[in-house]
Amino acid sequence: MDVKAIRELFPILNQEVNGHPLVYLDSAATSQKPLPVIEALDEYYRQYNSNVHRGVHTLGTKATDGYEGAREKVRKFINASSTEEIIFTRGTTTSINTVAVSYGRANVHEGDEIVITYMEHHSNIIPWQQLAKQTGATLKYIPLQEDGTISLDDVRNTVTPKTKIVSMMHVSNVLGTINPIKEVTKIAHENGAIMVVDGAQSTPHMKVDVQDLDCDFYTFSGHKMCAPTGIGILYGKKHLLEQMEPVEFGGEMIDFVGLYESTWKELPWKFEGGTPIIAGAIGLGAAIDFLEEIGLEAIKEHEHRLAAYALEKMSTIDGITIYGPKEADKRAGLVTFNIADVHPHDVATVLDTEGIAVRAGHHCAQPLMKWLNVSATARASFYLYNSEEDIDKLVEALIKTKEYFSDVF
Ligand code: PLP
């Protein structure tokens, strides 16, 4: 992969921050956007901005073609069997909430179980807490192993015939762990439960095949994979989506409206009430074209190399604790860490003065922070535009940070 050429397609990276060339290591929070995506948005707004599905005029037809064309690109990207299974949402959070509200309230009852893990993002915890409260179901957690992975034995011990829903992240935004979704799905199905996957941190970085995984729902966000904010995907198996009621009612999603009764459009539109996120979908389509041209396999390999390099270099820093699996092949392209006696917010602040953007905090994973026995951590996350040089700058700045704090205190 030619990282130098790729970087040139990301205009935002070509700037100085606090007098230093920007080193952007916060792609797990949101990725930067390449020129083809920026240009697709610019073209839509300059040349064919129009509402979809309704008008018979030329701009409306072009906008509809762009919007529905993006749906087909998403279908192919995750290998769904039909575009009826691809619903545009605002992002992972909205997608998971849609499943919890629509599928959950109809199918989960008192005494049933919902199973998640300790490593989940708040977006994959709270919708299930709410569902459990509303239905009288029990929320259960699959424990984590010492190295921040889950064991299939623990999955088998937690999922029972009472379990109706298993929901799990594909890749952890804190530990970097890659979870064995295919195997967990099998265990969920053997117990009569459905499998929901939070793919927010997987789809940007690796090839996902929903038919091969056999999961029932797969959710992700465009903004972490080079697309704009405000667009995301809910994939669901057609036979499940068909049984489910919409969660938002209004324009665009109806077939017929009477005074007291209405009927819905067919899939996928019954879940897309109101004017949809047209520019966002078109931007997501452009992002998928961009990522596929480079190749998901090449992106994965590149990030794997960066993670291995970062683990090796960062572990030489005195007093550093790195969380998650120690072996690079068990994890994705991010490193979460703490430096002894320095608060992670201070680490991030000092790094910012060097032009290096990392994230500090609980990363929307407070139960996981509790499990790690910390209140916060710092996280450096990599994407296709990062290089070994970025990691060298990070390590150098971390050593400086450590020296600065040991001199001051
Ligand atoms: N799940 C994981 C693992 C995430 O990392 C994130 C975002 O950071 C989300 C869910 C929520 O995504 P969004 O805020 O785009 O809905």
**CATH assignment at residue 77:** 3.40.640.10
277 and 316 both lie in a single domain: no
- The pLDDT tens digits of the residues spanning 177-206 come to 999 999 999 999 999 999 999 999 999 999
Q: What is the pLDDT of residue 326?
A: 86
From the CA of 57, how far away is ligand 1's center (Å)? 37
Query: 152 with 201, same domain?
Result: yes
Task: Answer yes or no: 364 catalytic.
Answer: yes
In the block, tokens 């424990």 appear at: 143
* Residue 404's pLDDT band (cuts 50, 70, 90): confident
Question: Are residues 206 and 128 located together in one domain of the fold?
Answer: yes
How far is residue 114's CA from residue 166's CA, in Å, rounded to a whole number? 6
For residue 359 and ligand 1, the question of a CB distance below 6 A is answered with no
245 closest CA partner among 261, 259, 263: 263
Computed from CA positions of residues 120, 123, 126, 127, in that sequence, does the dihedral angle turn out positive or negative? negative
Mean pLDDT along residues 81-95: 98
For 94, list phi and psi in degrees, rounded to 5: -65, -40
Q: How far is CA 364 from the centre of its chain?
A: 12
Residue 400 CA to ligand 1 centre (angstroms): 32
pLDDT of residue 406: 80
Classify residue 311 as exposed, middle or buried by CB count within 10 Å of its CB (0-12, 13-18, 19+).
buried
Across 31-46, average pLDDT: 98
User: What's the distance, Cα to Cα, between the start and end of the chain in Å?
Assistant: 44
Judge if 107 and 199 occupy the same domain.
Answer: yes
More confident site: 408 or 281: 281
pLDDT at 407 over 80: no
Q: Is the CB of 91 under 6 A from ligand 1?
A: yes
Residue 184: how many CA atoms within 13 Å on its side-chain side? 29
Closest atom of ligand 1 relative to the 120 alpha carbon: 3
- Assess contact for 322 and 311: CB atoms under 8 A: yes
For ligand 1, whether the C-beta of 93 sits within 6 Å is: yes
Yes or no: say if 290 and 227 are a contact pair by the CB < 8 Å rule.
Answer: no
Distance CA 73, CA 85 (A): 13
Please report whether residue 371 resides in a domain. Answer: yes
Non-local (6+) Cβ contacts of 351 within 8 A are 357, 358, 394, 397, 398, 401
* Domain final position from 272, 292, 312: 292
Same domain? 150 vs 267: yes
Query: Does residue 249 lie within any of the structural domains?
Result: yes
- Residue 222 in contact with residue 283, Cβ under 8 Å? yes
> Is residue 36 a part of any domain in this protein?
no
Structural domain includes residue 20: yes
pLDDT over threshold 70, residue 408: no
Q: Is the pLDDT of residue 409 over 60?
A: no
Ligand 1 centroid distance, CA of 111 (Å):
29
Residue 4 near residue 389 (C-beta atoms within 8 A): no
Residue with tokens 């993002």: 121
Residue 95 inside a domain? The answer is yes
Ligand 1 within 6 A of CB of 170: no
What is the per-residue pLDDT for 55?
73
The number of beta carbons lying within 10 Å of the beta carbon of residue 25 is 25
What is the domain range of residue 381? 3-26+295-408
By C-alpha distance, which of 231, 207, 219 is closest to 78? 207
Cβ atoms of 253 and 264 within 8 Å: the answer is yes
- Could you say which DSSP state residue 1 is in? -
Pocket test for ligand 1, best of 89, 201, 284, 363 (most atoms within 8 A of CB): 201
Same domain, 168 and 96: yes
Helix (H) or strand (E) holding 106: helix 105-107
Read off the pLDDT of residues 52-74 as tens digits, 9 standing for 90 and up. 997 789 999 999 999 999 999 99
Q: How far is Cα 141 from Cα 135, in angstroms, rounded to an integer?
A: 18
Could you tell me whether strands 113-117 and 377-381 are parallel, antiparallel, or unpaired per DSSP bridges?
unpaired
Task: Please indicate, yes or no, whether residues 87 and 73 belong to a single structural domain of this protein.
Answer: yes
What is the CB neighbour count within 10 angstroms for residue 139? 16
Residues 254-289 pLDDT 10s: 999 999 999 999 999 999 999 999 999 999 999 999
Query: Residue range 352-374: average pLDDT?
Result: 96
Tell me the pLDDT tens digit for each residue of 120-148: 999 999 999 999 999 999 999 999 999 99
Instruction: Tell me the average pLDDT across 323-338.
Output: 92
Share of the chain above pLDDT 90, in %: 95
pLDDT digits 0-9 by tens, 228-240: 999 999 999 999 9
Average pLDDT for residues 1-19, to the nearest whole number? 97
Distance, in Å, from the CA atom of 219 to the CA atom of 99, rounded to the nearest integer, reads 10
Q: How far is the CA of 350 from the centre of ligand 1 (A)?
A: 26
- Over residues 169-183, mean pLDDT: 97
What backbone phi and psi angles, to 5 degrees, belong to 4? -60, -45
Q: What is the pLDDT of residue 141?
A: 98
What is the distance between the alpha carbons of residues 213 and 230, in angstroms, rounded to a whole number?
Answer: 26
Do 243 and 125 reside in the same domain of the chain?
yes
Name the catalytic one among 22, 35, 294, 364.
Answer: 364
CATH of the domain at 350: 3.90.1150.10
CB 235 within 8 A of CB 218: yes
With a 6 A CB cut-off, is 89 part of the ligand 1 pocket? no
CB-CB contact of 235 with 43 (8 Å): no
Rounded to whole angstroms, how far apart are CA atoms 155 and 16? 47
Ligand 1 contacts CB of residue 203 (under 6 A) = no
User: How many structural domains are present in the chain?
Assistant: 2
Percentage of the chain beyond pLDDT 70 is 99
Question: Looking at the predicted structure, is the pLDDT value of residue 363 above 70?
Answer: yes
What confidence score (pLDDT) does residue 330 get?
86
Of 239, 261, 292, the residue at which a domain comes to its end is: 292
pLDDT band at 375 (very low <50, low <70, confident <90, very high): very high
